[in-house]
Every structure is written in structure tokens, then in C-alpha cells.
Structure 1
Amino acid sequence: MSAAERDEYERLRKAAHGRHRRLRYAVTSVLLLVAFLLAPLAVVAAWVDSEVSDTDRYVQTVAPIATKPSVQNTVTDRLTKRVVDSVDVAAFTDAIGRTLQKEGAPPQVVQGADALTGPLKSALSSAVHSVVNRVVTSDQFSEVWDNANRRAHAAVVKVLTGEGDSAIQAGTDSIDLNIGTLIEEVKKELVNAGFDQASKIPEVDKKVTLLKTDKLNEAQDAMRLLDVVGTWLPVLVLVLSALAIWSAPRHRVALMATAIGIGIMMIVLLVGLAVMRSVYLDSVPSSVLPKNAAADIYDTFIRFLRNSTVTVLVIAVITALAAYLYGPSRPARWVRGMAAKGTGATGRALARQGLRTGETGRWLATHVKWTTGIAIGGGALALVLWNYPTPGAVALILGIVVLVLIILGILAAASGPERRPPAADGRSAPTPA
């Protein structure tokens, strides 16, 4: 082959290599873009799926609502008004007036009976409010709340799909809480407090509107879709990310880019949740629910979604930082060098004290990449198997992995001097100092 032919062959080979490299970059970019766009939706879908399928998780989500002072005050005020409104105080005072008139009481006394309507209603309101507040703020109310939600976990399905019966029900444009059990308890407490007439209180409206919105149907449609893809969408994001890293010409850079991109999308999701909170509070009329109660309900209901988003963000930051520290940059080399010096010095100090690891330590030193990979993989597996991990769980697993890597480095450095084979004259070769 002539020099010209070799040059032409080399030119064609480089051109083909360049096209192949550009194609890999294009494939990686497309996969990463899709993974980034789906990442927030995957977090939301997984949260919805857990709320629908896991009864304990759902009860754990809604349980704090019953202990919020703003919600307790709202329920107390609404229930007091309904109970007092069901009592016809005017008819009672009219009956007193007629009785006094029949008994021949002076006209001034008979007319004064009508003036009792306001004070009696005020006294009744005060007494009922006190009893209702005692019931609502008691542990019994929290137990009733939890048991009702646990027995009727279909509440979430009812809200999201409009199907089934539960304590929490979805209407055409509202989400309502059925407080029938609480009303019966209040009646019993009133009778026990000396208000015998409370047992004759007629049936009142047993629903308290928690949320009123004209977008409920659209939200239910969206939630049904999220429920369907809740299990597989996170898996799809992981698969796309893995394929993008595998197809990239530089795997470490792709891993770092993936972590940074997903981290940014988690920040976008957190901002979106904050914006949705403001939109929700603006959409709830004060006549339906006080702003502080609406804020407490929203914050309580989505707190696990917010925690999951922060957890993914923390994982993304740790992954990006780890990928950077494995790179060729000067700060990364300095960090690795300082870590190696620290574990090496500790291991050699143990060896001088007679605590040598021998062949085991030398094997660890030889297979450091394998042991590091196994330790990191074990941490990742623990995180995957962790039921609803939190940022604290991520920090705990990270600490354990770092501790294991430090121990492995110390054990590798504590192997002691390697034994040399016998010399040609039959004497052992001297070991290096």
C-alpha cells in the first residue's frame, strides 16, 4: 500500500470514527433529554401510586391533618354552627312566653321572654363550642380520623377517580369530609354535660368541604394517568439514564451530566409545588376554608412528595460529586490523594503495631476497583430496597459506604511488607524497609 493510499485510508477511518462519535453523542443527548423531562413526572407518579396502593402510607399522610389547630378550629366552628342552627331557640322562647301567658304572668314578663332568644342562643353556642372543641382536640378525634381513613382507604381512590365510598368523598367540584361519626360523639358529650335536649337534635349536614375547585375533573383525569404509570415511569427514567451513560463516549462525564440534569429537574419540581401552593390558596374562597387551614392541608398532604423530591435531589448531588471526584481534574486528584494518604498512613501504623492483614490486605490492594464498585453498588442496592427513603436515609447509606471504603483502604495498607522468593543461593531475599 502506497503512502497516498495509507493517508486516504487513515482519513476515511478518522471520518468514520468522527461520525460514529457524533452519533453516540446524539443518541446520548436524546436519551438524557427524555429522561430529564420524565424525571419530575416519575416522582409525582410514584407518590400517587404509593398513596393509592399503600394503606399505611395513606393514613400516615393524612393523620397529621386532624391535629392541625387551624383544621380543628375550622371543624369546631362549622360543627358548632350546624348544631346550634338545628336548635330552634326562637320556638323555645315562644313556648316559654305562651306558658307564662297561660299562667297569668304580667305582660312585661311575657314580652321579656322574647328577649331571651339572643342570650340563650349565645349561651348555647358557647356551651356547644366548648364541648365540640374538647372532642375535636382530643385523642379520640385523632383515633376516629385514623380509623375512618384506614377502614376506608378507598378515600384516595374516591378523590382521584370518583369511585367507591369513604370518609373523604369527591363531589362534582369539591372534596368533602364526612363527619357523621363526630356529630354523634358531640351529641353524646352534650347530653353528658347536662344538655338533655341535645339528644333530640335533628340530622344535620354531615359533610365539611375540604377543597372546592372547578378543576377537579381535570385533576382526576391526570391522576388516573399518573396512577397507571406510577410503577413503570421511574423504571423507564432509570433505564433511559443507564442507556444514555452506556452509549456516551465518556461514561463518567455522561454520569455527571445525568445527575446534574435530574437534580435541576427536581429543583424545578420543588418550585412548581410552591407555585401550585400559591395557586391553590388563591383558588379556595375564605367562605369555604380559611387560608391557614387550607395551607396546612396542602402542606400536610404533599409533604411526602416534597420529601421524595428532595431525596432524589440529594442523590443527584452525591452522584454528580462522586463522578467529579473520579475525574482527572486537579481538585479531584488532590482529594483522592489525601484520602489515600490518610488510609495508607493509618494502615501502615497498624502494620507497625503488628496488626497486619497479610495476603488479604494485598488482595484488597490489588482489587481496589472491584471492592470500591461492590461497596458503592451495595449502597445503591440498599437505597433501592429502602421503603420510601428520605434525605436522612441517603445520608446514612452514604456515611456507611464511605466508612466501608475507608476501612477497606486501611486494611489494604496494613498488609505489611511482601515476602520475597528465596534467592539463588537458597537464602531469603531481604525484605524492603
Structure 2
Amino acid sequence: MDPSEIPADRDRPGGPRPPSAPGRAEDERLRETEDRNRRRLRWTFASVLLALAFLLSPVAVVAAWMDSQISDVDRYVETVAPLATDPAVQDAVSDRLTDRVVDNVDLDAFTAALAKALERADAPPRVVDNVPALAGPLKNALAAAVDNVVTKVVTGDRFPQFWENANRRAHAAVVKTLTGEGTSAVQARGDTVVLDLGTVVDEVQRRLVDAGYERAANIPDVDRTIPLLQTDKLSQAQTAMQLINVLGPWLPPVTIALAALAVWTAPRHRAALLAAAIGIGVMMLLLLAGLAVMRQVYVNSVPPTTLPRDAATAVYDTLVRFLRQSTLTILVVAVLTALTAYLYGPDRAARALRSAAARGTGALGRAAARSGLRTDGAGRWLEAHRGWTTGAVIALGALALILRNYPTPAFVALVLGLVLLALVVLGVLAAAADGPGPSRTGLATGTGAARPAPGAPPDRDTGSDRDTGPGG
């Protein structure tokens, strides 16, 4: 037969021939290889994004903190406000101002004038000769009197206002010291930021006059400043500070976007989310450890003549307290995120916990229905849309954290408690639509599942870790 007369496959009855068994196996093998390569590429890309997010996360936290301290004078004043009532700082201020006032009183001239007056009054020569020896006791008495007045001023009700005003004036100097930029403010002296407490000195002089020391009004102008921050060691990082200052507004959203893109790109979203939460949590722990190390570095770098050790410690702890608080908050959020990702996974303990939650909310809902509190259509709607309601509740919790400026770990715990309570309530309301019979629903988090019909195959984990495409 002429080969041209042999009918083509497409012309044969029934259409083209199916591929042979070896051909199907080869096609399947090629598809599996292509899928593995695609998954490997996606995991590689997601891993790179996660590594960048991990490295940037502590820098982003520091940058956000610095940006708030540098750009917002009110935020800076709020940060340093507790120092006005810190006993160590109050003692340092009292000692410094007392020494400044006493050192500007010329006791030698006073004793010399007293000696001349006694000599003109024909006092015995022995008395006149011993007058200079009174300088020491007089200085001690004056120091005690001045210290008493200064302490009352520093621990009084008006001192926090004096402190706030002084720090508002010194804010530009703090910016210059941290970033190396800005104008040459008089409060910045080399590597030290000092506060001008002239109003406190004026108040001390007024109270000395009121106490009977009329000549205190004639005390010459003294150095009215006290050191707040010395940065002879930290100034070495000024270049990095400048870079962080520029990138401050951008680093936090970029870091969040990198982590979110990594989770979205990864073949297993839940596993990527768990990895992201654990990695960021570890970086926050390292940041807290770094702050502890820097605390010792700073305290050891401040000469005792500048600030006593306890006062320097109080200054450092106060200046970085919002940074430490933000770090702890992110650590708590990371732990909660990792725990949530685990509980939604296929692990036996997680599945058992989800089943227990489903049974608990189902029992509560059925009990409510038996008592007459049936939700009927509303409950059935909640059951049918529990994925949307769960997402809405979690989104509201996340929105509360975003809108809250500098949320504390306690606030995060409060939001978490409210979210869990809302999810339990939604689960109970959904179960209350079923009446006293078996519950069709569980906890409104989507962890409860419909009870399988008799003879149905056992439930399998079908959504947590399945290989899906981006966004799937």
C-alpha cells in the first residue's frame, strides 16, 4: 500500500491515538521535574527575600526609633521626661549646681574683708590671724545651705517643667550629636550634650535670698549647664547614624514588604510565614542583646566627673526605653505569628488543639441553642462565611496595632485576647444555629471542620502546606 494512503491519526475513527504507557510515564516525569525546578526556584527566591528581611529588621527598628527622636521634638521630650524625677539624675543635678554656686562665692575675699574689719575694731591679733581658717567651715556651711535649697528645687513640682524647657532647647544639639548635622548649637560641646538649666539656678538664687542670704543675688553668673549625654564612643558610629537617619522612614515598610513577598512567593505559605516569624524573632533577641552590650559600653565610656555611673545608667536606659519597648513588641508579635502558623499546620498537636477548640465552641453553641438562644439564619451565615469573618477579626486586630503609636507588649497581649475572644464568640454563634444536634462548625477561626458523614474518608490536611503557586 502506498504510505500516502495510510490515514493519519486525526482521520481515524475515535480521534488520535492515546500516547503509549512509556510516553505517558515520560511526560509525567518531565512535568514532575519541571515542578521540582519551579518549586526550587521559588524557595530560593523566597529564601533570599527572607534573609534580606532578617538582616534589615533590627536596622529598621533602630531607624524608626531614631527618626521619631530626631524629627519630633515632642517625642524626644517625652522620652527624656522621666529623667526629671529619677533620683540618680536629681542627685547629679543637685551636686553639680551646688558646686557651681559655691565655687563662685569668693570666700577668701570675704574672710580677708572680715579680718580687716576685726583689725580696725582692735580685735586681738590672734583672732585676726585665725580669720582665714574660717574659709573651710564657711564653705561647708554655705555648701550645706545651698545644697538644701537646690535639692528642694530639683525635687520640687516645678523642676519637671524646667527640665522639659531645657530639653526642648537642647533637642537641636542632640540631633547634631547623633547625626553630625545641623547647626552648631551652644548645647553641643564636642562629644557631650549639655542642658542649660539657667532657670533652675535663678530659682536657687531666689530661694537663697528668701532664706536670708541676701548677697546670694550678687553671685556671679555660673556655668548653668549640666551634661546629659557624652558620646566619645558612640560618635564613631556617626556615619552609620547619618545613613539610618536618611533611610529611617523607608526601612520599616521595605522590610515588611520583603517578608510579605517572601511568604507569598514560597510554595508553602504557612512554612514561609513560620520561618519569617522565627527569623525576625531571633533578630529582635539579638537586638536586645546588642542594646545590653551598648549599655555597658556607654556607661564605661562616661567619666565619673561628667556623670556618676548610676546617673549615666539612668540616662541610657531612659533614652533607649522606647527602642527596647518597640523591640520587645515586635518580638511578641513574632512569637504569636509563629505560634499561629504552627497551630494551622498539619502537626498532630496542632490538629488536636483545633479539634478541641471546635468541640468547645460547638458544645457552647449547642448549649446556647438548647436554652433558646438560637442564631438560625445569622448563625448559618457565620458558618458559611467563617473564612471572611475570621479574616475580618484578624485584620481589625492588625489595624489596631498599626494605628497605635509605639504599641507595648501589654497592648499586643490585650489585642490578642480580644481577637481570640471575638473568634470564640463567632464560633459559638455559628454553632448555635444547629440546635441540640451535632455541631456543623467549630471555632470561627476556620479550624473547626464539618463532621464527616458516615462512611466518608477521614479528614486530611489539604490546605496548610500544599504546593501552591504564588497567591494560591
Q: Classify the TM-score, shorter chain.
A: over 0.9
- Residue 192 of structure 1 deviates from its aligned partner by 1.1
* Percent pairwise identity: 59
What stretches of structure 2 of length at least 5 have no aligned partner? 1-18, 437-472
Contact 1:149 1:155 in 2 (8 A): no
Other-structure match for 1:282 = 300
Other-structure match for 2:106 = 88
Q: Highest CA radius of gyration, 1 or 2?
A: 2
Q: How does 1:195-234 map to 2 (within 5 A)?
A: 195-234=213-252
1:181 aligns with 2:199: yes
- Residue 92 of structure 1 deviates from its aligned partner by 0.7
Other-structure match for 1:350 = 368
Secondary structure in structure 2 of the residue aligned to 1:139? coil
Other-structure match for 1:67 = 85
Other-structure match for 1:54 = 72
Q: Give distance in 2, aligned partners of 1:148 and 1:172.
A: 19
Q: Give distance in 2, aligned partners of 1:353 and 1:121.
A: 85
Q: Give distance in 1, aligned partners of 2:305 and 2:275.
A: 49
Q: Per-residue displacement from partner, 1:195-235 (whole Å, max 9, x unpaired)?
A: 11111111122222233343454344333322222221110
- Residue 165 of structure 1 deviates from its aligned partner by 7.3
Other-structure match for 2:377 = 359
**Deviation above 4 Å: which 4+ runs of structure 1?**
150-153, 164-167
Other-structure match for 1:323 = 341
Contact 2:370 2:435 in 1 (8 A): no
1:412 aligns with 2:421: no
Other-structure match for 1:39 = 57
Other-structure match for 2:451 = none
Other-structure match for 1:138 = 156
Q: Give distance in 2, aligned partners of 1:377 and 1:100.
A: 86
Q: Give distance in 2, aligned partners of 1:213 and 1:303.
A: 18
Other-structure match for 1:269 = 287
Contact 2:174 2:193 in 1 (8 A): no
2:341 partner amino acid: A
What stretches of structure 1 of length at least 5 have no aligned partner? 419-433
2:182 partner amino acid: E
Which is helix-richer, 1 or 2? Answer: 1
Other-structure match for 1:427 = none
Contact 1:172 1:217 in 2 (8 A): no
Other-structure match for 2:356 = 338
- Residue 384 of structure 1 deviates from its aligned partner by 1.0
Contact 1:77 1:129 in 2 (8 A): yes
1:15 partner amino acid: T
1:212 partner amino acid: Q
Range moving further from structure 2, 52-61 or 96-105: 52-61
Q: Give distance in 2, aligned partners of 1:216 and 1:268.
A: 19
Q: How does 1:362-373 map to 2 (within 5 A)?
A: 362-373=380-391
What TM-score do you get using the length of structure 1 for normalisation? 0.92
Contact 2:375 2:430 in 1 (8 A): yes
Q: Give distance in 2, aligned partners of 1:152 and 1:212.
A: 14
- Which of 28, 42, 59 is the equivalent residue of 1:24? 42
In the alignment of these two chains, the number of paired residues is: 417
What TM-score do you get using the length of structure 2 for normalisation? 0.85
Contact 2:173 2:193 in 1 (8 A): no
Other-structure match for 1:242 = 260
Secondary structure in structure 2 of the residue aligned to 1:209? strand
- Which of 171, 178, 182 is the equivalent residue of 1:163? 182
- Residue 363 of structure 1 deviates from its aligned partner by 1.5
